[in-house]
Structure 1
Amino acid sequence: MVGSSHEAMHRIFQKDPALLTRALQQVLRIPFPEPRDFAAMNVDLTEVEPVERRVDTLLRAETDQGTFLLVVESQGKPDERKRGSWPYYLGYLREKYRCEPVLIVVTQNASTARWAAEPIHVGVPERPSMVVWPFVLGPENVPVVADETEAVRDPALAVLSAMTHGRGPKAVGILESLVAALKTLDADSAAVFVQFVDSCLTDPQARQMWRDFMTTVQYFWRHPLAEEVREQGREEGREEGREEGRAHERAEIILRNLQWRQIDVPDSVRERVLSSTDVDELGTWLDRSYRVADARELFGEGPAA
């Protein structure tokens, strides 16, 4: 599971799906057709096999050029496993729904944005069978909305700007402009946007500044919807703790199996097993722990792989 900052970076597009297509058109200069309608879809991509696969946000966009599936992934840091997951997501969705999927990665980190923008080649390097080229929204292309008039004209984009750039000297102008924009919205929408921004401000000074601003509009901060978003973030944290507990339990079982089978466990193997937080990876190692002859074979480094 993930933290609240991760959630906010993609859930803003659930709150305002049109922001996503505006970002494609205006920020990335992609000639994406104008949607007539949006619908949220089930993010669970799990098949019959007991391997859980979920995207962060999945939207269906109906346009004059056909139906598109907008797959939004919030990415905090580079993760090479995603380069295996993303082609699967797109292939699965295209086959299941018979319409074109579009992958959009959202990040607050410039180096992560550059990593995510690299094409993913599947197959023979000289002639790949598939190339996945994500669209990326990050600090290097999301506009800095520090003008009050611009923020009022497009409050959702101003929120995305604050979530992406809310650190350093830019933060003051961005957050001040956003306060003015929020006052033009209904209380329900403003309350959710307030919490999204608060979740994404990693700079302590910027976060304190934002909370100071919100003391002038306490209704937004205390609104039930804002509290609901905060509670969802707390629940995600609790679930993350449960997931870490399951991973640690599997790691301990793996090591006990090897000890019971009188197989020597080098420190490097022990550290790798105990440091893993991937429940699926640990499940594979657990299965192998019943039959390997050498502890290093847990990782596919021998005939038991």
Structure 2
Amino acid sequence: MSFEKTAKRVLPASNVERAKRWLGLTDEQNNLSGYLFVLPNVIVFSIFLLAPVLYAFYLSFNEWNILTAEGTWVGLQNYVSVLTPLPWENNWAPLRDPTANLWWYSMKNTVVYAVGTVPLQIYGGLAVALMLDKRIRGKKVYRAAYFMPVMLSGAASAVIWIWLLSSNGIINSFLQPLGLAHNWIGDPSTALGGLILMAIWGGIGFNMILFLAGLQNIPDELYEAARIDGASRWHRFRHVTWPNLGNTSFFVLVMAIIGSFQVFGTALVFSDGGPYYSTTTVVLLIYQRAFEEGQMGVGAAMAFILFLIIFVFSYYQYRYRKSEEVEY
């Protein structure tokens, strides 16, 4: 039954067109059955995802007690307390001293983590995908081996790397005879580097699968034409492979950056944000404020500030990508 016929039964004739415009329906898209098919998903999404998000937004304006489920309205005070002092105040102290403002210090850790992981995850995944896209013996075994870290949980990966990087771990057993042994996890100057190394190890395999899917969608005729024209291997990659991986590389970049800003489980298990807040990331700080210290309003405010940062980044990345697309 079309939407127009159904609407005429319950609405005056003058309001049918207004209802269609409100629902965004055109003459070619007036089938009510389509809306009925998506209605269960919309209901589930609204109850279990949208409603908790809206409720958390309400909590961000309250000083909320999770035990009594009662709160006091404080307006923007939670947001002000999170963001002040600003990072450029007091000679950039919030970025250097966690006691000045732990939010900005954790944001600095998160940005350093993103800068250290995203490029190597992307280019490492692309390099592995290019190697495994060729006809080599045991290709499926290599693919499974590179993808294996992705199948591990963050907690399991963190335990493995603690075993490797601890003061009496495997790496130090090789460095001890050379006099280079070091407490990699217990030193604030190297703990974040260990977290970055673990993220690169786990992220390359995931990006490899995405790039492999993109490589297999490139027509062989393009490579044949390039070879006939005398293009070298580098020129085939530059003018054939990379342009045809545009959508894949854009997706990988956005997902890698969003994932780096949401790192939580590995940082929690790896060193619980220490030593001296050197591995405290934004999401880990939100968890500590909300669930360990009971400051639900402050934690919710932090969560929505982080949401705004990721949303703005994703939006402008999408706009930039659309501006570079060429229409034929």
TM-score computed with the length of structure 2 as normaliser: 0.20
Instruction: Identify, as 1 or 2, the structure richer in helix.
Output: 2
Q: Which has the larger radius of gyration?
A: 2
TM-score computed with the length of structure 1 as normaliser: 0.21
